[in-house]
Amino acid sequence: MSTATLELKNVSKLYRVSKKEVHALNPISFDLLGDPARIITVAGESGSGKTTLASIMLGLLGPTTGQVLYEGKDVSTLSGSQYRDFRKNVQAVFQDPFAVFNPFYQVDHLLEVPIRKFNPGLSKVARRKAMEEALEAVGLQPSEILGRYPHQLSGGQRQRINVARAIVIKPKILVADEPVSMVDASLRANILEALVSLRENYKVNILYITHDLTTAYHVSDSIIVLYRGSVMEAGDITKVVESPQHPYTQLLINSIPWPDLERKWDNQQYANPDIQEISGSGCKFYSRCPNRQSGCQVTPQLVPLFPRHLASCLLHQPQANLDSNLTQNL
Amino acid sequence: MEHLLDITGLTVSYYTDIGRAIALNQVDLKLKQGEKLGLVGESGSGKSTMGLAMMRMIKPPGKVEGGSVVIGGVDMLQLSDKEMLKRRLSTISYIPQGAMNSLNPVLKIKRQMIDAYKAHYPNHKLDQILQLAHETMISVELPEHVLEMHPHELSGGMKQRVCIAIGILLRPQIIIADEPTSALDVVTQRQVIETLNRVQQKIGSALILIGHDMGLMAQSMDKVAVMYAGEIVEINDVQTVFTSPKHPYTQALISSLPRLQNRGEFRGIPGMAPSLYRLPSGCRFHPRCNQQQPHCQTTSPRKSIFEDEKYVTCHLYEAS
C-alpha cells in the first residue's frame, strides 16, 4: 500500500468562545487513500463538527491537536512549492452556489483563474479546452455556459460550474461541503451524478459533507456519522443506512422525509436537542438517547460490530476478531 | 361542503427593465377547512408569489393583475388596505421563508407576540394576552421562559417555532408556511413539521405548505399542487401524486426522487425551467416534456377537472 494522499492523525479542534470551551471535533484519525477512488460521506446535524473537519482537511484551519499529512508531510510545515501542490490537489466545493461568483465577471473567469495559477504555461487554446472538458465532465454544454454572467444561470448550473472549477486542475481530492443543500430538489440529481462521474472517470476522491442521508446513500461508498464532534457510527454506506446500529444514526434515518407513502415517520419521540445541556464526559448523545443506561456516562469506544461497520455505543458488543481501524472500515 | 378558500384566475406580474414577467398566470385553487395542501415547484415557479398574493403582500414591481382570493365569502383582493390589515394573522397568516430573520433582534419574544396581538385587539388586557401567549408557546412545544428571551438566544428550530407561534396566535383559518424548514437539518425539520401539523389539527385551520421537498409532502400533506413556470399543472391527493402522477412534469418530478430502492440511479429532469420573460408557446412545459405532441407547441392546454377540485393541465387528459 502506498502512502495515503491525505492522512488525519488524531486531529481535534477546540474553540474557545469567551471562556467557554467547545470541542468541535474530538480526536479522529483516518486516511484518504489515493486508489481506488471513493466517495466518503461525513454526516451529522448542525454543530456536529462536519464543516470543521472539512476546513481542517482543506488546510483552512489548523487542528488544535494532531496532524494532517499530505503525501506523508505535515500540511502546516509544507514549503512554498509543496503547499502549492497541496492546494492544487485538494479542492473544495462550498454550500452556497450564489456567493462564490463575482457578478461582474463572466463565468469563464472563475474557471480560468485556477488554470492560470496552477498551469501557467498553458496557451489560450489549451486553457479553453481544459475549461470545456471540465464543464462536460459535470454534464454542462460549454457553448451554453462560457461567456455568460452568473445571473444568467440557475443555481443548479452554478453549483455544477463550481464542481467544474474544482476539477479543472485535476485534483486528487475534492471536499464538497453541503453541495446540494441550497439547490432545488429536482436539480440535485444532476449535481450528484456529476460527483459520481468524477470518481469514475477522473479517479477523484470525494469527501461529501451533508446532513442528508438520502443523497449520501445514493452517491457514497462509505460514511462517517458525527455527533457533537465524535464519531457515532462509520462504515459501508449500505450497511449503515440499511441497518443503523447507533441510536443517533437511527434518529437521523428515521427523520428523513422519505418521498414514500409506505414509509412514514415513526412515532418515536426524542428529547428536543434545543433544550439539552452540553455534557462533559460520557456519550455525547446521552441526553437525547432513548436507550440510555447508567454505563453511558463513560465515553464509548468506536468498535467493530460487523465487517466494515463500526459504532460507538455500549448497546453493542464489539467483535474482537474484526479490525477497528477507521480507515480500514471506510 | 363550502370551500374555505377559493382562488380563481389569480394573475401576478413583475414589471422590470427587461419586460413583464408573468409570475402567476390564471391560477385556480380551492381548499376546504382543515385541509393540508403542499405547494411544490422549482425555484421561480411562483410558489412564494402565490403565498404573498393571498396575503396581499406583493410589492412593486410586482402587481396583482386579476383574479380573486375568496376566504369565507370575502374577496381579499377587494378589501381596503385597512381591512386587509385586520385579516392578516386573524384570518390568514403567513410564516415566511427564513422565518428566523423575520424576528426583531432587539425585542423579547413576549413583546413581539403582544405587539402582534395588540395590532388587532388594542383594548384587550395584558394578562389576558400573556395567558394566550403562554398557551401558544406550549402548543408549539417551547418552554414558557422562551417568552422572556431575545431571538439570538434561540436555535434555528426554536426561532422557527416562535414564528409558528406568532402565526397561530389569533387562530387563523388559513396558515401559509413558506419553506419553513429549508434552513434546518433533518432532525429539527421533522420536529418543526410535526409541530406545525399538531397545531394545525388543534386549531382546525387549513394549511398550505410551500416547498420543494417532495418527501415532506408525502409525510404530512393531504393534497399536493405542482407548480411550473407560474401555473399549477396538477392538483391531486398525495396518494395519486406519488403512485400514479398525471402530468408529465409531476411524473418526472416523482421519478427524480432519491429513494431507498433505486440506489445510484439519477434521473434529473432534462433542460431547465423557462425564463418568465420568454415563455415557450403553447404548453409551458413542452420543451422538456417526454410525451410531447405536435399541438403542445401551439396550443395551451386546458384544465381537465376531476372530482373534489383536483385537476391537471395537460393535452393528454383533455376530453376530445
Asked if the structure places residue A115 within a domain, the reply is: yes
Closest residue in A to B154 (Cα) is A274
- How much is the mean pLDDT over chain B? 89
Q: For residues B227 and B50, is the Cβ–Cβ distance under 8 A?
A: yes
User: In chain B, what are the domain boundaries?
Assistant: 5-259+268-317
- Who among A156, A211, A238 is closest to B186 (CB)? A211
Closest residue in A to B221 (Cα) is A261
My answer on whether A27 and A104 are in the same domain is: yes
Asked if the structure places residue A233 within a domain, the reply is: no
A54's grid cell: 472539512
Quote the pLDDT of residue A19.
77
What's the domain range around A16?
6-220
CB pairs under 8 A between A and B: 123
Query: Residue A225: in which H helix or E strand, if any?
Result: strand A222-227
Residue A132 CA to residue A115 CA, distance in Å, equals 12
* Contact across the interface for B187 and A255, Cβ inside 8 Å: yes
AA letter at B95: I
Please, what are the averages of pLDDT over each run of 10 residues along chain A (330 residues)?
Answer: 78 85 88 86 86 91 92 90 91 85 91 90 91 86 88 83 88 90 76 87 91 88 92 94 92 86 75 52 83 85 92 88 86
Asked if the structure places residue A201 within a domain, the reply is: yes
* Contact across the interface for B218 and A259, Cβ inside 8 Å: yes
Chain B residues touching residue A215 (CB < 8 angstroms): 258
Chain A residues touching residue B256 (CB < 8 angstroms): 185-186, 189
CATH of B5-259+268-317, one of 3.40.228.10, 3.40.50.300, 3.10.350.10, 3.30.70.270: 3.40.50.300
Residue B70 CA to residue A172 CA, distance in Å, equals 59
Quote the pLDDT of residue B212.
84
Asked if the structure places residue A20 within a domain, the reply is: yes
Assign residue B147 a region: left if phi > 0, alpha if psi is -120 to 50, beta otherwise? alpha
My answer on whether A104 and A181 are in the same domain is: yes
Give the closest-approach CA distance of A56 to chain B in angstroms. Answer: 22
| Below-70 pLDDT ranges, chain B | 1, 99-100, 320
Give the closest-approach CA distance of A243 to chain B in angstroms. Answer: 12
Q: Which of A218, A274, A275, A277 best probes binding to B when mutated, by most B CB atoms within 10 angstroms?
A: A274
Quote the pLDDT of residue B238.
93
Asked if the structure places residue A225 within a domain, the reply is: no
Which residues make beta-bridge pairs with B176? B94, B208
Upper half-sphere CA count for residue A306 (Cβ side, 13 Å): 12
B17's grid cell: 427593465
Quote the pLDDT of residue A10.
93
- Who among A214, A219, A274 is closest to B155 (CB)? A274
Asked if the structure places residue A216 within a domain, the reply is: yes
Which of A:237-256 have CB within 8 Å of B? 238, 241-242, 251-252, 255-256
My answer on whether A164 and A300 are in the same domain is: no
CB atoms within 10 A of CB A280: 8
Residue in the structure block whose three cell numbers are 394573475: B11
ipTM for the assembly: 0.79
- Who among A212, A265, A275 is closest to B190 (CB)? A265
Q: The CATH number of the domain where A109 resides is what?
A: 3.40.50.300
Q: How far is CA A122 from CA A118, A126, A133, A136, in A?
A: 10, 6, 15, 20
Which residues make beta-bridge pairs with A30? A8
Closest residue in B to A213 (Cα) is B186
End-to-end distance of chain B based on CA atoms, in angstroms? 30
Q: Based on the structure, what is the number of domains in chain A?
A: 2
Residue B137 CA to residue B146 CA, distance in Å, equals 8
Report the greatest alpha carbon distance in chain B: 67
Quote the pLDDT of residue A1.
45
